[in-house]
Amino acid sequence: MNSENLTRLEEKLAHLDRLVADLSDVVARQDGELARLTRRLEMLMQREAERELADGSALPLADQRPPHW
């Protein structure tokens, strides 16, 4: 393998290392955002269930069977 090919491979490897690091950062950020959004959704669902109970519903809408069952 000549020097030119080795240099080209080293450059490609450096580029791929950087790309993997960037993608890892994106995945970590998305994981945190997904966890945050999941917590917010659970909180909103709980709040809505409490509101439905306070309005006098026998069962929260989320716990009721659909009419076709």
Q: Is the pLDDT of residue 5 over 80?
A: yes
pLDDT in tens, 50-63: 888 888 766 656 66
User: Considering only CA atoms, which of 29, 58, 63, 31 is closest in space to residue 45?
Assistant: 63
Which residues, 6+ apart, have CB-to-CB distance to 8 below 8 Å?
none
Residue 8 phi/psi, 5° resolution?
-60, -45
Instruction: Please report, as a single letter, which amino acid is at residue 62.
Output: A
Per-residue pLDDT reduced to its tens digit, 21-33: 999 999 999 999 9
When pLDDT is averaged across residues 35-60 and rounded to a whole number, the result is 86
